[in-house]
Amino acid sequence: MDGERRGPGFWVLTVFFVLFVLFLYGPLSTIFILSFQGPNGGLTFPMNGSSVHWFRNLLFEQQAVGDFGGAFTRSLLLGLMTMAATVVVSLLAGLAFRRRFLGSGPLFYLAIASLIVPSILISLGIGLAFQVLGLNPAWYSSGFGAHLTWTLPFGLLIMFAVFNRFNPAYEEAARDLGATPWQTFVHVVLPIILPSLIGVGLFGFTLSYDEFARTLMTAGSFNTLPLEIYGMTTNVTTPVLYALGTVTTGFSLAIILLALVTIAVLRRRRARRLVT
Amino acid sequence: MTLSRITPYLQASPLALILLAFLVLPIATIVMVSFWDYDSIQIFPAFVFTNYEETISSPVTWNTYLNTLKYTVIVWGLTLFIGFWVAYYLAFHIRSATMQMVLFLVCTVPFLTSNIIRMISWIPFLGRNGLLNQTFMAMGLIHQPLEFLLFSDFAVVLAMVHLYTLFMVTPIFNTLMRIDRALIEAARDAGANGWQILTNVIIPLAKPGIAIGSIFVVTLVMGDFITVRFMSGGQSASVGLMMSNQIALLQYPAAAANAVILLVIVLLLVAAILRIVNIRKEL
């Protein structure tokens, strides 16, 4: 901002930013370190030796409470379902909103309302609606719907951002060359927006995988992973809790990395294709 | 021709159906059940105002709502301050677009990991034998461990700022990136100093982003119950927590009445923010 010279403001804000990043990542890194506590270690520092005891305990031993494997499987499946539905539904809605249609205003406000209404209301509302209708809530029905009310608005907003910047000249060119609407979509529109769709998918998966409040009353009789972890916080007092935290955070980070790498590869491939 | 005319409706219908089924219908159910009656084992259809009367006439409710508003104001102020300067730094002080992207991702990644684990991760920091107390004791600053660090209002606010600042950073960063740099040049040429540029050019243009971030933070804090329960160790109350306790006791109509009141308050707050700042052109 100050041309070549860096003013004092820059250094003050750099320190501020570094502190902010430490604030974001510091606590997470402590539970990462503490999950490698020795077998006699406790929930706080100092480290009492170091081992993978608690990971082994988490993965291979029967826990006194909870069903980690089952909860993880349910969360994974639910995340994948939410991801697929979020990508498809937001893409379709994003395409719809490129044109004016009757009710587009109310539908838009409804989607925004879905972001604003507190999670516990969605949870309570869906739980009650299922009860009144005489249906049994389950993670794959009521829980799935509850997660979609959180992921779809994000997906829709990303699609808005994408289509606001989308140059319609590409589609016109395809049409002029005789492509059908379907061919235009598959061969022109889809490849261009594919990186953004992966972003939508990433949001859909991770937001669902980590969602707690919306699942609370909608999961039915089987817990998802965040519910399971929350249950563990009240009655597990060993570092196995941190081991679980490390494993699931590592899983989230791996998913994020996978999505980012895929996006980067797609971008690069497209850039190369444009050159040749 | 007719097919292309109905295409947008077909494309929008999955979204509309999902929102009707899992947003509109549930909220309608909450409103309906808030007039129902209940005893210790079940709820049954009725049209009574007792749920609202009991909620509004209880001083506990008022204290809880005030406490929730207190959290909202404090967390809003802190996240706005931190979020604005982080976004400002990224938008105006980082010059390479790649670096900007990388640092922005560094700020965004924790948002995509579990809130509960991010809350748990404060325990080894703030606990009685936590890192902070150990450090302070080793430095001789204190002789007794500080008790207020964990399971207190302090811990609740800290965790909320930790969880929700990103919701401020992202929209503000977005609006700052869209500010035409020529405007800043023009202000400087006209003799404005850094502070004047900030208050007369940048902040007014960043208002939509600030408003969107504020809506996120206000609604998240107003509806929060898990952070309050976990970080206060059950010693503080919030509206969401009161509701989840009522739910646990199967007092669904009471929880529903609370939910309706909470929803009205949240919508009023959002409407107030939208009255002050017009965000339409942001969307």
DSSP state of A1: -
pLDDT at position A5 over 70: no
Answer yes or no: do A120 and B223 touch at CB < 8 A: yes
- What number is the average pLDDT over the span A14-27? 91
Q: Phi and psi at residue A50, in whole multiples of 5°?
A: -135, 145
Q: Return the SS3 of A50.
A: strand
Across chain B, the runs of DSSP E, i.e. the strands, are: 37-38, 43-44
Q: Chain B residues with CB inside 8 Å of A264's CB?
A: none
Collect all residues with Cβ–Cβ distance below 8 Å to B23 and sequence separation of at least 6. Answer: A110, A113, A114, A117, A122, A149
pLDDT at position A162 over 60: yes
Q: Which of residues 10-49 of A touch B (CB under 8 A)?
A: 10, 13-14, 16-17, 20-21, 23-28, 30-31, 34, 43-45
Q: Chain B residues with CB inside 8 Å of A14's CB?
A: 89, 93
CATH class of B58-282: mainly alpha
Residue B87 touches partner A, C-beta closer than 8 Å:
no
Answer yes or no: do A120 and B22 touch at CB < 8 A: no
**Share above pLDDT 90 across residues of chain A, in percent, rounded to a whole number:** 32
Q: Phi and psi at residue A93, in whole multiples of 5°?
A: -65, -40
| Residue A122 to residues A125, A159, A215, A216, Cα–Cα distance (Å) | 5, 24, 9, 10
> Which residue ranges make up each domain of chain A?
67-236
Q: Provide the pLDDT for residue A4.
A: 53
Q: Which of residues 126-185 of B touch A (CB under 8 A)?
A: 127, 129-131, 134, 162, 165, 184
> Which residue ranges make up each domain of chain B?
58-282
Q: Return the SS3 of B44.
A: strand
A242-265 pLDDT, tens digit per residue, is 888 888 888 888 998 999 999 889
pTM of the model: 0.88
Residue A111 touches partner B, C-beta closer than 8 Å:
yes
In the block, tokens 């935290």 appear at: A245
In the block, tokens 């941190």 appear at: A242
Positive or negative, the Cα torsion across B66, B68, B74, B80? Answer: negative
Residue B18 touches partner A, C-beta closer than 8 Å:
yes
Residue A118 touches partner B, C-beta closer than 8 Å:
yes
| Superfamily for the A67-236 domain | MetI-like (1.10.3720.10)
A168-221 pLDDT, tens digit per residue, is 899 899 989 999 888 999 998 998 899 899 999 999 999 999 888 899 888 888
